[in-house]
Structure 1
């Protein structure tokens, strides 16, 4: 059984899979792409609520033990000392995670927002003959409707963005750390050192020139080959945006974490 658990969350297309691929190089760590635990957690919460006719038999202590057992049983075969579970939904579960796992931290991956929209659009165009699960396999729409769709409150980006702000300004913000994609790809050693310091673990000599991760089967099923692709070498790559200029500008000022004046709780940002 793992000794500690931490959580990777944040915005889509912002390096969470790359971060997991790097962390799992450490033999003491288990890390992976986004998984099903957050969804199972939410379903269990609902099933143990008053909508269940037997809810009178489920008190607060039982709820917590059932939910903690979900993690313990899911990772029962993990040989690692430290587990990182990845899901964009964890930012809205900060109070629950603080109670269930008092030692846990949440590492949120973020990225300049217009480049997230650009990255999604680039994936869609690269897979022009495969409708994506991101848009419920719909083959229609324009770059504008797709941007509006992911930016909506229930969209791929919109939900994660709102969840991030909830955690960033919430009462458990001291348990949160933001890792900027721009830092992760240009200064991976700096980003990793900050993460190790944040979670209180001894550092490990990661190889940023030989990173391995393969989610081909998952991405193909999602109709989005390349969705979780990780390049072998961690490096920043300059490119021009494929978004229309007005659409790029629409999201240009959304990276609130870049303004120190908007960080009243002193969330650590690297």
Structure 2
């Protein structure tokens, strides 16, 4: 699998640059944007242009951690919570639904959390619908048509029916079986990603931020645009043609 966000060049890259400029209060030239192929290169441009770069070690991730810790204590988690506390500690509190817990944690802390995901994620480089649902549907249809000799009109109706069933199944699976992203293993990792997703909120309270805060804010922007679920590194490319196979 290639380490890429798999942009398709329909303006998605321009939208990302716009959001980066707005979020970090910087301006990138067209030449800089055109020569930026990897996430690391874009992050370096942010660091060069950001007004607070190199002047502070204030950490928004710490602010997010303190808020999450306080909220988790009020939700019923007893004992000390540290950045190394496993994310599985959420299983100890009510309600049982992770969706309800996630919503309560976000509302009570006043922070934007990373989106929940389903247990089995598609490859980032393959559209989920065409990865397995469409071949499966056409395989079933082929067997039915061959066995029963169905007319053309009924074939169209059957095709639409099976597509509707597949889409409904996918939506129900997403609705019921969402869980914490697999890349987040500890409360500290949750706090860092949450600080990235809440960058605008936290910087209204504290104008200064550390380089790590800007990195997680950048990855939050990219995840928001692409739905990317797995890790994002400096080597992650925007377009598949620039990517090398992931290690």
Pairwise TM-score range, normalised by the shorter structure = under 0.3
Which structure dedicates a bigger proportion of its chain to strand? 1
**TM-score normalised per structure 1:** 0.24
Q: Which has the higher contact order (CA 8 A, sep 6+)?
A: 2
**TM-score normalised per structure 2:** 0.25
Which structure dedicates a bigger proportion of its chain to helix? 2
